[in-house]
Amino acid sequence: MNDDRYLSTSKSLCFAELVFRVAREMAAALLSFQGLFRVNSRFLCRKLSTESPTRINLRKDKKVLSVTYPDKQYTFSAEYLRVMSPSAEKQSGTTKRIVAGRQNVSIIHVEKVGNYAVRLIFDDMHETGIYSWPFLKQLGDDKWRYMREYIQALRASGKSRDPRATQKREKNK
């Protein structure tokens, strides 16, 4: 009987490990599925942080959000958070849609979502992005790489961060 319990526990552990591996592979697929940004293998291999920020502060000008974790502080421009939004409406098919012309966007409201995330509402009325604590930490750790890749993608598609350039291009179509 003790052997059966051990066997059952062993099978459960193997099943749990299998579920974990499948979930990890699905997460990797989702990250690579977004298309625009390469999957950062360092991110996939490091333990996802479940730590909550100790402080979230939106500056008076509503252009910068600072997020403080126990071990590190990050500052994010509203433009960066807007173009990196994890919202479903930004996804189109197999590639991540490039959001142009958001250089002057502001955050008008920060709303806590349970104990795991915040929802940001921007002055361009984008309000469906939910930023989990691990996602914000990833955005902070890899901010310069993601922004560089975003600007390169804009240039490659002939788009701009400047909203006036984007409006001119739409009028000329």
pLDDT digits (tens, 9 = 90+) for 143-163: 999 999 999 999 998 998 888
Q: How far apart are CA 73 and CA 127, in angstroms?
A: 24
Q: Is residue 48 assigned to a domain?
A: yes
Q: Is residue 105 assigned to a domain?
A: yes
Place of tokens 């000008």: 61
According to the model, what pLDDT value does residue 147 have? 93
- Domain hosting residue 94, numbered range: 34-163
Amino acid at 86: P
Q: Is residue 87 assigned to a domain?
A: yes
According to the model, what pLDDT value does residue 134 have? 94
Amino acid at 114: G
Both tokens of residue 131? Answer: 């930023």
130, β-bridge pairs: 119
Q: 62: which DSSP letter?
A: S
pLDDT at 65 over 50: yes
According to the model, what pLDDT value does residue 26 have? 59
pTM: 0.65
pLDDT at 8 over 70: no
Q: How far apart are CA 68 and CA 141, in angstroms?
A: 13
Read off the pLDDT band of 100 (50, 70, 90). Answer: confident
Both tokens of residue 81? Answer: 């958070």
Q: Is residue 93 assigned to a domain?
A: yes
pLDDT at 18 over 70: no
Task: Pick the range with the lowest mean pLDDT from 32-41, 109-118, 123-132.
Answer: 32-41
At 113-123, the pLDDT tens digits run 999 999 999 99
Give every CB contact of residue 128 below 8 A, 6+ residues apart in sequence: 85, 87, 88, 89, 119
Q: Is residue 29 assigned to a domain?
A: no
**What would the mean pLDDT of 89-110 be, rounded to a whole number?**
76
pLDDT at 68 over 90: yes
Phi, psi of 54 (to 5 degrees): -90, -20
Q: How far apart are CA 30 and CA 24, in angstroms?
A: 10
Q: Is residue 155 assigned to a domain?
A: yes
Q: Is residue 112 assigned to a domain?
A: yes
CATH number at residue 113: 3.30.2020.30
Picking from 104, 95, 77, 110, the residue whose alpha carbon sits closest to that of residue 33 is 95
The sign of the torsion formed by the CA atoms of 8, 12, 13, 14 equals positive
Q: How far apart are CA 29 and CA 69, in angstroms?
A: 28
Q: Is residue 170 assigned to a domain?
A: no
Read off the pLDDT band of 38 (50, 70, 90). Answer: very low
At 126-137, the pLDDT tens digits run 888 899 999 999
Largest CA-CA distance found in the chain, in angstroms, rounded: 78
What total of structural domains would you count in the chain?
A: 1
According to the model, what pLDDT value does residue 15 have? 56
∠94-138-127 over CA atoms, to 5°?
Answer: 65
Between 170 and 52, the more confident residue is: 52
